[in-house]
Amino acid sequence: METLAVLLKRITKGGTFIGGIFLIAGMLLLMSNIFGRFMHFVIPGSFELFELIMAIPVSFALVYAALQKTHVVVDLIISRFPPRLGAASEILTSVLSFAIWALIAWGGTLLAYENGLREMTDLLKVPYLPFRVVWLFCLFLFCLTYLVDLSRAVRRLLGK
């Protein structure tokens, strides 16, 4: 599992780099759009292009936040748990988190499979599929982070 954790970290590091590039690209696209509007020049489909572009940084951001343990948790009670009870509680929450994000990934996969390349933006006719694939890939990584957490919590519970 620790090998998987290292691998996840490396992939996510690359992902944040790609996400950062797309975030800046989205920002520049909006800036060009504003500039164009003042110069009476319209960038066709900039709105829908921006929406698609932002799917990439946000998808990788979700995984990165999970790896960095920044997803918000109310720890008023669990912070007072003894270590083994804390580990048992983490096993439960890791399983539930994994389950719900895996369900979201499964639903998203079915939707992507059904729509295929037919689902396109209104104006530019850009297919959603590549962006859905990135989103699903990130959901897959997201689920893996919970598997790593689960394995670590089990080891803590067993006192290893």
Partner 1 sequence: MSPVLVGILGFIVLFSLLALGLPIGAGMALVGFVGTWFLISDVAAFTKLAVVPFQTVTDYSLAVLPLFILMAQVVFVSGMGRDLFNLASKWLGHKRGGVAMAAVAGSGVFAAVSASSIATATTMGLVSIPEMRRLKYDPALATGAVAAGGTMGVLIPPSGALIIYGILTETSIGKLFAAGIIPGILEALFYILVIGILCWWKPKLGPPAEKAPLREKIKSLGGCGEIVALIIFVLTGLIIGWFTPTEAGAVGAFGAIIMCALRGRLTWDSFKTAIVETLKTTGMIYGILIGALIFNVFVAASTIPYVLSEFIGNMALPPHAILVMVLVLYFFLGCFLDVAAMTVLTIPIFFPLVVSLGFNPIWFGIIFVRMAEIAMITPPIGMNTFVIAGVVKEMGIPMETVFKGIIPFLVADFLHVTLLILVPSLSLYLVELMM
Residues lying near partner 1 in the complex (CB under 8 A): 16, 19-20, 23-24, 26-28, 30-31, 33-34, 47, 50-52, 54-55, 57-66, 68, 70-78, 89-90, 92-93, 96-97, 99-101, 103-104, 107-108, 110-111, 131-132, 135
The answer to whether the beta carbons of residues 49 and 126 sit under 8 Å apart is yes
Q: For residue 54, give every residue at least 6 positions away whose Cβ sits within 8 Å of its Cβ, in sequence order, or none.
A: 22, 23, 26
- State which residue, 1 or 104, has the beta carbon closest to partner 1: 104
Q: Which residue bears the tokens 């921006």? A: 50
The answer to whether the beta carbons of residues 142 and 66 sit under 8 Å apart is yes
In whole angstroms, the minimum distance from the beta carbon of 125 to partner 1 comes to: 16
- State which residue, 3 or 134, has the beta carbon closest to partner 1: 134
In whole angstroms, the minimum distance from the beta carbon of 1 to partner 1 comes to: 20
In whole angstroms, the minimum distance from the beta carbon of 52 to partner 1 comes to: 6
Alpha-carbon gap, residue 77 to 86, rounded angstroms: 10
Based on C-alpha coordinates, what's the Rg of the chain? 20
